[in-house]
Structure 1
Amino acid sequence: MKRIDKIYNYILKNSKNFNKDKFLDQKGFSAQEIGEKLDILRNNVSKELNILCREKKIIKIKNRPVMYFDRSCLENILSIKLPEDLEEILDVNILLSSPSNAFTENKSPFNYLIGANTSLKNQIEQAKAALMYPPNGLHTLIIGGTGVGKSLFANIMYEYSKYIKRLSKDAPFVVFNCADYANNPQLLLSYIFGHIKGSFIGAAKETDGIVSRADGGILLLDEIHRLPHEAQEIVFHFMDTGTYNKLGETGSTRRASILLIGSTTEDPNSTLLNTFIRKIPITITIPSFDERPIDDQIELIHYLLSNEAQRVNKTIKISAESIEALIRSTSYGNVGQLKLNIQLACGKGFLNCINTDECIDINLNLFPSNIKNKILTFSAKGKVNVTECDTIPNTITIQPDGDKTFLETDDYKPHFNIYNIVEDKTSALHEEGMSDDYIKDFITTDINIHLKQFYARLKNDTNRREVLLKIVNKDIVEFVEEIKALAESRLNRKLNERFIYAVSLHFSALFNRIKKRKVSFSSHIELQLSVNNKEYDVATEIHQLTQKRYNMTIPAIEVDSLSLLLASIQESSHQERVGIVVASHGSSAATSMVAVARKLFDVDNILAVDIPLEMTPSDILQTVIEKVKIVDEGKGVLLLVDMGSLNNLSDVINEHTNINTKSLDMVSTQLVLEAVRACSLYNTNLNTVYSYLINGFRGYANNIITEY
């Protein structure tokens, strides 16, 4: 007999023994119980149960834990007929008191929101009114602090619009963050409304904007307070008339039917035009975590822990003291901050039981002092009073079963892991026929970018080592600190804190992979640096010390990984790079290209010069010279210009400043991006970059192999 048949037979046989009272008392059978009775792994039981639900043989009952019951037996016991498409029941009490409501309103996307009947009840009623208002709904503004769930709420409004059939099933939902181009109104309007060919320098072809893509659906303008007044007026005209023109277009009026939702953390009266605000009649304020009732707070913690249980495929148990500490320590960051604190605690708890079948036990010892101490004092607001404390259960146990919910929309992003970067991207680049030298350069740049992104997340924390110790074993951190001192001595240069963070996280992930036997010891990757390279020699020594310290065999690729890491992370005073100045005629062409490069690569060694057509040659020269002086770090400056006349500036600048300068004309966004990438490589000089760009770079399209 197949496993799924065994499971179904168990549920069917035992469901027949239930009457109404027994069902209301027990609600059914959990995956854990079924697994123990049939000697089947609980994860496999859960998989088969989900299939049986989809086949409409059993029904899922939202409970803690989730319960399952035979569908036909339930109908007989309660004398009801379940809808054919129903797979789960959210509330058995509603099912008994008002069956019709249990099958209609409870299927609404809003009912999946935590707080739907408490802290978000009024907000949901406002949203429903806005969406159902004839003929096409009312434009809406969502207000709330960082991390309260504004984007999530907008997403639920979109799902509800489809649920009530106000929108079609394939209607678009487009999200645009107004902060991305807030300092460049021209580019921002181009992204929103599109542009025609030649409307500005670099506009090589006509392009549709997000308004066109959102036609027939909903457009979410996130951080709408960052819209410049000029853009607000144009968006206001669109909301008022439903018509718009692409940037640079005259005499042509386009139409789009869109429901606009804006979200902001700011007071709209101080950031948005009065005419703009008046065109948005519905304002919905999402409460902060502090303002939510204790039951909502506990349910949010339960849900976030459930996510972590699914990710690590382990049961999680959390104490009442830990729940209270999490509640008290969640302030400015709201649910986003709560999520981070939970992930850090689960990460540390996971390491404690990584090689066992034990559950993740979250207690106060897993939290840093700034969270742990919150349980000892009451805040000025008195977040959790004595009565509320009584509602917190002694422990909560979460199985990795997984329930459908709309709480999260972001993807889980694991911590920095250099091994994954080298392993995964090397394979992909090898398949594209790239040389080892090219791969080595590419990965070095990629590591730099990943490090900057990771370090940026820690830079505002007052105690960064404490943050690191939340997720990495103390012994590993101390060992990496010893390695850092050794490397500084061998290389005769200082390494900054990024080395400790990156290598500690990397080692922690690597050791776990080795223990789980997920590391290849026969890798085809060949990225070794020169035998005479100092970083490679030091990496070899570290590799040997690590094997001895932890008594394990570590793949040889680690020498290459550590070599790249040592070459990539240096004290900022020693990280001299080639500077870049982009100069182009027009009001914002150069600024636009530089903004894209800064966003993608997170660099500060590039500046823009926008040159009005009426600007005199002498003024142009003086302006460019000032930018060259600012961006020069001692390794020269690369000028990227749009016209041949500007191409002659490099010789004059060399004479005036004694700064080595070279220039390339016919600048494009692709050229700017590749220049930034090339200048980010360790030990790159101006001549090498210039020679590569003028002789070797032919655009990104040439690197793509298309099969027909």
Structure 2
Amino acid sequence: MEKYLSNYLKKITENFDKDNIKLHSTNSIANNINLSRSTVSSYLNKEVKRGNVIKVKEYPVIFLDKDVFSKFYFKVELSEYESLEELFNENKSNSSKASLNNVIGAKGSLKEQIDQIKTAILYPQNGLPIMLLGPSGSGKTYLAKSIYDYSIQENLISKKAPFISLNCAQYYHNPELLSSILFGHAKGSFTGADKDKKGLLENADGGILFLDEVHRLTDEGQEKLFTFMDSGEFSPFGDNSIKKKAKVRLIFATTESIQSTFLPTFIRRLPVIVNIPSFSERPQHEKLNLIDSFFLKESEILNKSIKVSGQVISFLLSSNYEGNVGKIKNIVKYSCGSSYTRGENTDLIKVKITDLPADCEEYIKETFNYQFTNRYQCRSYDYRCPELLNISSREEKNIATTYFQFIEEFKSAESGNITYEYYIKKMMSNVNILLDDLVFNTEYAKNQSLFSILSFNIRHTFKFMEENYGTKQDGNKIISIASLLYFKEEHEILINHPDWNSIRPKLITFINNHMANSVWLAKLMLRNLSEQLDYEFLEEDLIVISFYLNSTSMQKFKSGINAIILAHGYSTASSMANVANRLLKKNFFQAIDMPIDITIDDIENKIIEFIDNNNIENGLILLVDMGSLSDLGNRLKEKIKGPLLLIDYVSTPLVLEVGSLLIKEKNINEINNEVLNNVNINRKLIYPTEKKKKAILTCCYTGMGSAIQIQEILENSLKQYQKSLTIIPYDYKKLKQNKLKELPFQVYKVIAIIGTNNPKIEGVNYIGLDQLIVGDEIDEFISLLKCNFEIDEEQLKKDLVFNFSIKKIIENLTILDVGKILKSIEKAVDKMEEKFDINLSNNRRFLLYLHTCCMVERILRKESVDEQLDIDEFLKKQKRKIEVIKYSFAEIEKEYTIEISDLEIRLISDILFTE
């Protein structure tokens, strides 16, 4: 019975009609479902108390399902109302609630302006005067009304407080009349003034007075106004002996320059000047939101649904009628009216490009870029269902659903319902399903040109990555990302999710910690699109694209030293960087061209922006043409995340020399010591002052290749600690020779070195890789980590035992058949022991296994080893060693059809005989 009654109430609420409210009375409901009145009344009143049903207590008393009413009409808070008027007044109250926060652009291009306004409104003792500065039609009047609504919402003025608006331009040629209207006038003050009359200041007492085009006030009018701003007193026009008081909040608006239009004494009394951007200055998604709001309003006025062609939407978005939002609004109104008159008796108004006003035709011919006429799909508007506005196609629905899942699933991970590892896997799967659908189940025929432009710019980013980091271009990645951005059309989806603002910073931090390479490439791509296509860089796109790139198993980029040229002049730095990068065939140098009058603050901000968007753990070199090194260095040392080398000199030879040292992979210490030693230039090497991140170094006697492989194995075991721990492969010979002088000890807190040979650095723990493999040092390693991190001991031990078996290590290092290559190498090592009459330690034997497995694959791949300057001397003096090693590895050469070079033999000899 209760379910049947509930379903009936939902049904009639869905079709609620103010003109037929009796349908919702207890008697009517009881009669229509054949139940007694007392049963229905008892149920309904019980549900009112539970908060599930709305009761309106006027005659006749009516009942509405609360959830259905909130969904189809407006959200309600209470369950009981005295009258329908009170119920529907709540909608008006809700519409003004958070009025400033709901202004289009409040979280975007108007964010700073809204913050300024709130500061002025909430200032004690009647707030501060506000000046709105912006082009005609930019929305200043609308913003002033929103300020009024917000003031009521914050209980700063009463709900009945007046909002009075005056356009001063209407009385520009009659300043006496303007002054009279504003301040009132005394009887006899001018011809026809036959009695005293109140002015707008007095009428606005307790509320807000908005003066538009206030620059039309005469000097005298400005003086009278700032006297009132100072004292709260004013005199009516024609009698300065009368003093009146009023408590009025003032909002001014002007399209003119403040400094050249107003008296200095007036300007000094304007603590809050708010610059309102023109329509053309707004981001694309805000323009679209404004256009949407205009069409929704027309839908409400005409009481019809409206369908607008993509051409019309594209035209309105690309229009620039001197930044006039009002003009765009009028075009929308006219075009809807034009279509309405054609199809007055139809339920749907269809607005096409031919419905635009006649004066748009010339603009279309001269300035409209037809390349983008089909960039936007048609949009549907119905004031009864505004929430359906941005979901006009299957593709958009799928995109919105997937984007929302990123938030909902992250909340599940935070609450412990799923693991973060599962979250990553699930989101990577979701985004791949979405992109596959967009690529394979959709046609691009409508606007191939835009898709091509997106693809071109994304391909450009991948080309940059290939040239500088060895990341191969992938056509599938390019098409997938282009498809997503094409269908998404710069819409900001997650702004509609109630938890987006609170989840966003945590989710951004999460992806930075768990997929840093993917995030960096996604940032690079979106920033490039932003610059080339006037395309807005949205953090929600950064998150989704980062997960997609992470799912493609991107290789880890080698993080090198960054270098920036800062030079004064229009293109001095850019030209120098371009020349150097072309000659060096590597994009080592970024450029910042600086105007002559640039401040140290501006330079600092540009550098910090670069630091925030790039990995500079290995160092940043700044080549500056003039300026105070000490000042800039002192400013940056608290903010850098790695060593900073400042050089107070710029020239093409210097840039090329720095580039040549970067090609040789010199670290920042070595560059500082070696660059232009014969020239007296100012330089300063600064290390970060913030708390050092902890690090483990990996090294191998035979070179960096094996050190990198050890790093990757360690990262697999310790990936849950990567937020606070970094693992760095480093040159063994440099560590052994220079000890604590090497760069990692300046930048990080090194807690251990893991390798195949001990570089013997005082105060730093060394753990041999062979000891991890046999298990002797696993407990010691875990104890070391326990001193620095909270760890799951049992799980970590399992991971280490698994990852540090000899078979597992060689599986990670090569693509060869592990069992087969190990048997062959074991035979070769046994032969060398017998022929040289030596007993190899477990560490030495392991090192030979490790090195020679990698050697075989390296030769198969035709990769070279580092040059050895004394190889000729070795070949002359060590002929027997060479013969024995060649004999021992002859079967391997035959099995794998390779030839082991003299350089490789020298490395094997070093492992066998070097202490």
Whether TM-score is above 0.5 comes out as no
Report the structure number with the largest CA radius of gyration.
Answer: 2
TM-score grouping bracket, smaller chain normalisation:
0.3 to 0.5
Higher relative contact order (CA 8 A, sep 6+): 1
